[in-house]
Amino acid sequence: MRTSHITKVGLLTLIVGGTLQLGLSSELQGEEEASAKIELRNDLLEILDTEQLQSALPGVHVRHSETGEELFSYNSDISLAPASGQKLLVGATALDVLGPEFTFETGVYTDGYTRGSILHGNIYLKGGGDPTLLASDFDQLAKELHNQGIRMVQGDIIADDTYFDDTRLSLDLSWANQRGQVGAQVSALSFAPDAALISDVALDRYNTASVYVEVHPGEEPGDEAEIKVTPESDYYSIDNQMITVEEDGDRQLAGWGRDHGTNDIFFEGTIPVGGNSFNQYVSIWEPTNLAVDLFAEGLKDARVRVNGDVVLGETPEDAEALFIHESMTLEELMIPYMKFSQNSHSEHLTKALGQEVYGEGSWDKGLDVVEEYLDSAGVNTNVVQLRDGSGMSHLNAIPTEEMTQFLLHAQDEEWFDIFYGSLPVAAESDHYVGGTLRTRMADTAAASNVAAKTGSLTSKSSLSGYVTDADGEEWIFSIIMNNYIGSSPTAVENDIAIRLAEYEAD
């Protein structure tokens, strides 16, 4: 870090009349407190005065969690892209509008009748936007038909994903991100890989609309690598160009992905004998089709024969419900959603908000609901731009002082404990506690203290949440940095949060 060029005289100028608002309290609480605040502000300015941010646009805002009193402000009125900090806004709105006990429903319906063991009519698999449906859940849906005595269906299996619209990808999603789970397609009838089938220690991340690919070395050099995909299906194909090499050979994933508009997945490179596997989530084109394929396979396994086709359609209003599967509650979903920063969960919640409030499961209507909640929270929505739910769009925008206003208001909501508990916690190694902050700020005053949401995109980084200082006072902070060149300036975010944790007013 280079020496700060801001002198004491310059600092006073900024305090008195510059564009940098330093938030001096109107009533100074003694010389010691005033001195501590000035020292803190000098330190935070020095942290921001780094080569890494020389051509960047950072914004920072800190306010007291009870009084809302401003402690520090730097470009806090500039609208910046928060990356996954956007999930704070969607998660809170979902808790407020849908409620902590909200569940997604996936139903099996029929328009026919049963005579003996034969169902005469169609089977409808109706999606309700659940981002956590596993292959095992589709198997259970199929078993329920068997348990009801059905052994044959004289009709079609019809997949109904009309709870959401048919726009699969958000407006500003980049081409490069569409191959992985971060840019997976959004459907009201989808699936997620079953962690228990992947590994005994795999985490229940629920990477919606993506398959989990493991590439293992063959037994001998020259052998084709072994590729395992979860869940298994004939809906996708694997082009395996991974070659096993000598034990001391190169371990290189030269290329991977999915040909656009298809489910032709490819992996190419080299992997040494006895070497560690490559593991990668790959998104699926039109996930509805894979979801209903998993259901159809489940029916076969459950010995329910279907004399018909698998097609897309809409469930008739007078169809009879044979079985309804409910997801985990929103309260439970908030943990994988926020701790692991799940993009798909946020997009599903956004569209669910639109459907539940306006009867239209679209991004436009869902984001209208989010904006309405922000307005009720005292946020100036005239300076906020919402383009998606996950934060993948580089055109999302919110000033840091509006983010802290939102976080201030959230504390008064009945669901706040759930919201706060879903935030990643600095230096907590348990993935379900530390989340995306589990390796950051260890052995500092911020460890097990800072609870905040991370955000990361190319040239965008953010950290917004809550921190308790050395006096036991809690502060709300938001750091958003845009347009930096090179590696992510997470160290700057860490240093700011640590300094706030160390702050003593007297």
Residues annotated as catalytic are 84, 87, 341
β-pair type (105-110, 123-126): antiparallel
Residue 385 per-residue DSSP state: B
Q: What CA–CA distance (Å, rounded) separates 474 from 466?
A: 7
**φ, ψ (nearest 5 deg) of residue 113:** -140, 155
Q: What CA–CA distance (Å, rounded) separates 470 from 330?
A: 34
* Pair 428, 51: CB distance under 8 Å: no
* Tokens matching residue 8: 């004491």
Cite the DSSP H helix spans in 340-362. Answer: 343-358
Rg (CA), the chain: 26
DSSP string, 399-426: -HHHHHHHHHHHTTSTTHHHHHHTS-BT
Separation of CA 341 from chain center: 3
Q: How many CB atoms lie within 10 A of CB 28?
A: 11
430: left (phi over 0), alpha (psi -120 to 50) or beta: beta
Work out the angle at residue 389's Cα, subtended by the Cα atoms of residues 384 and 394, and round it to the nearest 5 degrees: 60
Work out the angle at residue 424's Cα, subtended by the Cα atoms of residues 422 and 430, and round it to the nearest 5 degrees: 100
Residue with tokens 């328009």: 111
β-pair type (152-154, 118-120): parallel
Q: What CA–CA distance (Å, rounded) separates 49 from 242?
A: 46
* Pair 469, 437: CB distance under 8 Å: no
* Pair 162, 188: CB distance under 8 Å: yes
Q: What CA–CA distance (Å, rounded) separates 470 from 126?
A: 53
From residue 175, alpha-carbon distances to 172, 225, 259, 442 in Å are 9, 28, 11, 36
